[in-house]
Structure 1
Amino acid sequence: MEVPLLVTDFLDRARKYYGDQEAIVATTGERFTYDEFGDRADRFSAVLQARGIEKGDRVAVLDPNTHYHLEAAYGIMQLGAIHAPLNYRLTPDDYDYLLNDAGVKAIFADYEYAEKIEAVRDDVPTELFITNDPDAVEGEWEDVDALLEETDPEYDRPEMSEDDIITINYTSGTTGDPKGVCRTHRTESLHAQLVTIHHEITDDDVYLWTLPMFHVNGWGHIYAVTGIGAKHVCTRGVDAGQIFEDIAEEDVSFLCCAPTVLSMLGDYADANDVATEGENPMRVTAAGAAAPESVIEMVEEEFGWHFRQLYGATETGPLISTSATRRLIDEDSEERFALKKRQGIAPLATEVDVVDEDGDVVPWDDETIGEIVVKGNQVMDGYWEKPEATEEAFNDRREGWFHTGDLAVVNEHGMISIQDRDKDIIISGGENISSIELEDTLFDHEAVADVAVIPSPSEKWGETPKAFVVPSNEDPENPPISADELTEFTKARLAGYKVIHRIEFVDELPKTATGKIQKFELREQEWEDEDAMVGEG
Structure 2
Amino acid sequence: MIAMFVDLAVRDFLDRAELVYPDRVGIVDEPRQPAPSWGAVTYRDVARLARAQAAGLDGLGVPAGGRVAIVSQNAARLLVSFFGVSGWGRVLVPVNFRLTAPEVDHIVRDSGTEVLLLDPELAHLREATTAKHVLVLGEDDDTIFDRAHEPIEHPIAESATATLNYTSGTTARPKGVQLTHRNLWLNAVVFGLHLALTDDDVLLHTLPMFHANGWGLPYALTGVGGRHVVLRKVDGAEILHRIDRHGVTLLCGAPAVVSAVLDAASAWDGPVPGRGRVRVVVAGAPPPTRLIERTDEELGWEFVQIYGLTETSPLLTVNRMRAEWRDLDPLRRARRLGRAGAPALGVRLRVADDGEVLTRTNHNLDGYWDKPEETARALAGGWFHTGDGGSLADGYLTISDRKKDVIVSGGENVSSIEVEDALTAHPAVREAAVIGIPDDTWGELVTAIVVLEDDTATADDLVAHCRERLAGFKCPRRVEFTDALPRTATGKIEKYALREPFWKGREKRVN
Shift of 1:389: 0.9
Q: Percent identity?
A: 41
State the partner residue of 1:392. 377
Q: Deviations over 1:303-330 (max 9, x none)?
A: 1111111101000011111112625644
In 2, Cα distance between equivalents of 1:161 and 1:236: 33
In 2, Cα distance between equivalents of 1:340 and 1:420: 17
In 1, Cα distance between equivalents of 2:270 and 2:121: 29
Shift of 1:472: 2.5
Helix, strand or coil for the counterpart of 1:468?
Answer: strand
In 2, Cα distance between equivalents of 1:181 and 1:331: 43
2:78 equivalent to 1:82: no
State the partner residue of 2:103. 94
Q: TM-score, normalised by structure 2?
A: 0.94
* Match for residue 181 of structure 2 among 179, 182, 185: 185
In 1, Cα distance between equivalents of 2:327 and 2:370: 47
Q: TM-score, normalised by structure 1?
A: 0.90
Q: Deviations over 1:95-146 (max 9, x none)?
A: 111111111110221112222x22413xx2x122222343xxxxxxxx21x3
Helix, strand or coil for the counterpart of 2:150?
Answer: coil
CA contact (8 A) 1:249 1:278 kept: no
2:137 equivalent to 1:132: yes
* CA pair 278-330 structure 1, distance change in 2 beyond 3 A: closer
Stretches of 4+ moved more than 6 A in 1? Answer: none
2:407 equivalent to 1:407: no
Shift of 1:159: 0.7
In 2, Cα distance between equivalents of 1:120 and 1:207: 35
* 382-391 or 457-466, which deviates more: 457-466
* CA pair 308-33 structure 1, distance change in 2 beyond 3 A: same
* 166-175 or 176-185, which deviates more: 166-175
State the partner residue of 1:362. none
Shift of 1:489: 2.1
In 1, Cα distance between equivalents of 2:163 and 2:304: 27
CA contact (8 A) 1:259 1:287 kept: yes
Query: How many pairs are equivalent?
Result: 501
Report 1:274-313 matches (<5 A).
275-278=271-274, 281-313=277-309
* Match for residue 271 of structure 1 among 257, 267, 278: 267
Report 1:126-275 matches (<5 A).
126-134=131-139, 143-144=140-141, 146-147=142-143, 151-273=147-269, 275=271
2:403 equivalent to 1:422: yes
* 341-350 or 166-175, which deviates more: 166-175
State the partner residue of 2:17. 14
In 1, Cα distance between equivalents of 2:475 and 2:156: 57
Shift of 1:150: 6.1
* Match for residue 365 of structure 2 among 366, 373, 380: 380
In 1, Cα distance between equivalents of 2:271 and 2:509: 49
* CA pair 10-149 structure 1, distance change in 2 beyond 3 A: closer
* Match for residue 451 of structure 1 among 410, 416, 432: 432
Letter in 1 for 2:453: S
* Match for residue 511 of structure 1 among 478, 487, 490: 487
Helix, strand or coil for the counterpart of 1:46?
Answer: helix
Shift of 1:275: 4.5
2:450 equivalent to 1:441: no
In 1, Cα distance between equivalents of 2:50 and 2:509: 50
* Match for residue 315 of structure 2 among 292, 305, 319: 319
2:458 equivalent to 1:462: no
* CA pair 263-155 structure 1, distance change in 2 beyond 3 A: same
2:63 equivalent to 1:54: yes
Q: Deviations over 1:150-207 (max 9, x none)?
A: 6325111111111111100111224432111000111111111111111111111001
CA contact (8 A) 1:166 1:184 kept: yes
Letter in 2 for 1:2: F
Letter in 2 for 1:440: D
2:347 equivalent to 1:344: no
State the partner residue of 2:458. 482
In 2, Cα distance between equivalents of 1:20 and 1:376: 36
* Match for residue 431 of structure 1 among 392, 406, 412: 412
RMSD between superposed Cα atoms in Å = 1.8
Letter in 1 for 2:477: H
Q: Which runs of 5+ in 1 are unaligned?
A: 135-142, 358-369, 474-478
In 1, Cα distance between equivalents of 2:484 and 2:327: 35
CA contact (8 A) 2:159 2:180 kept: yes
